[in-house]
Amino acid sequence: MRAARVLIVGCGALGSAQAEALARAGVGRLRIVDRDFVEPSNLQRQTMFTESDAQNRLPKAVAAANHLREINSEIEIEPHVSDVNHSNVEQLIDECDVVVDGTDNFATRYLINDACVKHNVRWIYGAAVGSYGVTMTVRPHQTACLRCLFEEAPTAASAPTCDTAGVIMPIINIVAAVQVSESLKLLTGHIEDLHGSLMQFDVWRNEWRKIDPGTAREDCPACGLGTYETLAAVSQEDAAVLCGRDAVQISPSRPTRVNFASLADRLRRAGEVKFNDYLLRFRTGNFELTVFKDARSIIRGTNEIATARSLYAKYIGN
């Protein structure tokens, strides 16, 4: 374990729980990548961070590295403040024994899946929203990958997110605990003890389910056919800084039609929202998001693509 390197993609709620557990377990090298800053609203669930991290608006990767070094000074922590995308994902997973999913969006998960299948790196999917969580361990070309189960990511603006629906901390700890246990089994070579399922939990409804994901599918675009859609620059969700307007435009990676009424219902919990037949406008803090029917959005209040992508993932969701 001391010689192992684990990549944690996303250091929000799941990522901070994973990072702390892996650091305490003594995994020798932790590479942590996150594009966001710590905000006061994160503290309810992101147990790594403190009020002073939020006041100082520290990048999550940096704040996490500071705390982890105090938890275990004998391991190497490698923080990366960046947006994971097609141009850097293969470099980030390079030399990693396991990749753990701490992200909040499917665009990044499909990117991780494609890169890990291509380079034969094991990765552990995990997600939580509300009181529900899900996780699955992917061993490329042996178990099913995320695309074997769901060939395409859900379309933009189709599902609740932690920032619109909320999330309670206990489900985070359950999902992260299973992901960390699976990481330890992989790092110590106990393949036979992996849970081998798509594991789902709901701590409010008291449900716990294991679904058999089967094996790697021959007709899977990634592990069967060897095509890695998200790694090609042309297929990327398109983002562009709108010059002189303090705004960034994000276009979804796949065509969709947004139901404004249901998106507005979800967004009302997080800020001020208005819509007509053509567009929906949502205000939160210093940012204003204008969403069009095709899920293309203009995010005003920033000219940073990473910040805009982060807001898009949090509020529109994909």
- Residue 19 near Zn ion by CB under 5 A: no
- Residue 145 near Zn ion by CB under 5 A: yes
- Distance from C-alpha of 24 to C-alpha of 153, rounded to nearest angstrom: 33
Between residues 141 and 283, which has the closer beta carbon with respect to Zn ion? 141
- Single out the residue of 67, 109, 139, 147 in contact with Zn ion (rule: CB under 5 A): 147
Q: Cβ of residue 154: shortest distance to Zn ion, in angstroms? A: 17
- Residue 220 near Zn ion by CB under 5 A: yes
Between residues 192 and 219, which has the closer beta carbon with respect to Zn ion? 219
Stretch that binds Zn ion, among 137-145, 243-251, 264-272, 304-312 (CB under 5 A): 137-145
Give, as ranges, the residues between 23 and 52 that touch Zn ion (CB under 5 A). none
Between residues 23 and 121, which has the closer beta carbon with respect to Zn ion? 121
- Residue 223 near Zn ion by CB under 5 A: yes
- Distance from C-alpha of 128 to C-alpha of 150, rounded to nearest angstrom: 17
Residue at shortest CB range from Zn ion = 220
Between residues 49 and 110, which has the closer beta carbon with respect to Zn ion? 110
- Asked if residue 144 lies in contact with residue 138, where contact means CB atoms within 8 angstroms, the answer is yes
- Residue 299 near Zn ion by CB under 5 A: no
Query: Measured between alpha carbons, how far is residue 258 from residues 138, 159, 292 in Å?
Result: 31, 11, 8
Between residues 142 and 235, which has the closer beta carbon with respect to Zn ion? 142
- Residue 153 near Zn ion by CB under 5 A: no
Q: Cβ of residue 117: shortest distance to Zn ion, in angstroms? A: 6
How many residues lie near Zn ion (CB under 5 A)? 6
Q: Cβ of residue 150: shortest distance to Zn ion, in angstroms? A: 10
Stretch that binds Zn ion, among 44-52, 56-64, 216-224, 235-243 (CB under 5 A): 216-224
Q: Cβ of residue 101: shortest distance to Zn ion, in angstroms? A: 16
- Residue 311 near Zn ion by CB under 5 A: no
- Where along the sequence are the contacts to Zn ion (CB under 5 A)? 145, 147-148, 220, 222-223
